């Protein structure tokens, strides 16, 4: 479970209060969508949940551990072992193949005994076995995002975070990626926390968290 306790984020530049003392709970095994208009704080919240960014107030407690109190090194290690992160712009390594990109996070921590076997299994899971030997420049956007999802799952994370994972995809691929995330949540038991501003995908969530101007405006579904 992830507990967000009175989290506040003030960006010094422009004195923006991007998050205004937010308190939220994310329960294990559920699918969460964080929604809200542009500038409402979705990316800020996700970056604080993953420890990529630090709050200016409050705490984030993951399974009883206060990650906001961790040092950089400890946090980086914690993230690699427990979190999978998918970005809007995929961030694949351009000179590595699909298979190599998925294998990359398994170099450290060495939690997975057979990285290549695990990577092939994940490529199958996201229907991307045919991309094994292709580099990102030879892939479509939807294909790159499927590889990025496989890579995020490499170390069997308990939590999968995704900030606008389908913003750069066409309709068909958007649908495909949301369905895939839902299937991963159901079949692998991974807790998914994803953001989108597109209403068409809200139905994929168990719980919808609506942000407005840095505040939790509404929580739909169970809390
Ligand atoms: N590094 C920064 N420095 C100053 N202000 C920032 C910074 N990052 C974000 N902001 C501001 O914080 C607020 C929340 O931004 P955030 O990126 O979290 O919104 P968002 O909901 O993800 O929007 P979008 O849908 O456009 O991605 C906005 O007012 C934004 O301008
Ligand atoms: Mg954003």
CATH of residue 77: 3.40.50.300
pLDDT at 223: 55
Asked whether 47 lines ligand 1 (CB < 6 A), one says: no
Q: Which residues span the domain enclosing 131?
A: 2-220
pTM: predicted TM-score of the whole model, two decimal places: 0.94
Is the pLDDT reported for residue 89 higher than 90? no
CA distance 94 to 78: 26
Number of domains in the chain: 1
pLDDT at 31: 98
Residues contacting residue 87 through CB under 8 Å, at least 6 positions apart: 148, 162, 163, 165
Mean pLDDT throughout 191-210?
A: 96
CA distance 179 to 188: 14
Asked whether 20 lines ligand 1 (CB < 6 A), one says: no
CA 171 to chain centre: 20
């Amino acid at each position: 479970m992830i507990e967000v306790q009175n989290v506040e984020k003030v960006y010094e530049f422009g004195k923006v209060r991007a998050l205004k003392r937010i308190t939220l709970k994310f329960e294990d095994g559920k699918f969460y969508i964080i929604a809200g208009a542009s500038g409402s704080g979705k990316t800020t919240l996700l970056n604080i949940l993953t420890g990529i960014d630090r709050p200016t107030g409050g705490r984030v407690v993951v399974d009883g551990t206060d990650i906001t109190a961790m040092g950089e090194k400890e946090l980086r290690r914690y993230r690699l072992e427990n979190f999978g992160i998918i970005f809007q712009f995929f961030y694949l390594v351009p000179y590595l193949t699909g298979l190599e990109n998925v294998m990359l996070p398994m170099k450290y921590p060495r939690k997975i005994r057979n990285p290549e076997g695990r990577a092939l299994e994940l490529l199958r899971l996201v229907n991307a076995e045919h991309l094994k030997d292709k580099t990102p420049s030879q892939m479509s956007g939807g294909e790159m995002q499927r590889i990025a999802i496989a890579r995020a799952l490499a170390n069997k994370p308990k939590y999968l975070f995704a900030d606008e994972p389908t913003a750069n995809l066409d309709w068909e691929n958007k649908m495909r990626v949301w369905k895939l995330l839902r299937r991963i949540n159901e079949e692998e038991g991974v807790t998914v926390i994803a953001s989108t501003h597109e209403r068409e995908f809200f139905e994929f969530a168990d719980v919808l968290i609506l942000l407005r101007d840095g505040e939790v405006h509404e929580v739909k579904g169970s809390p």
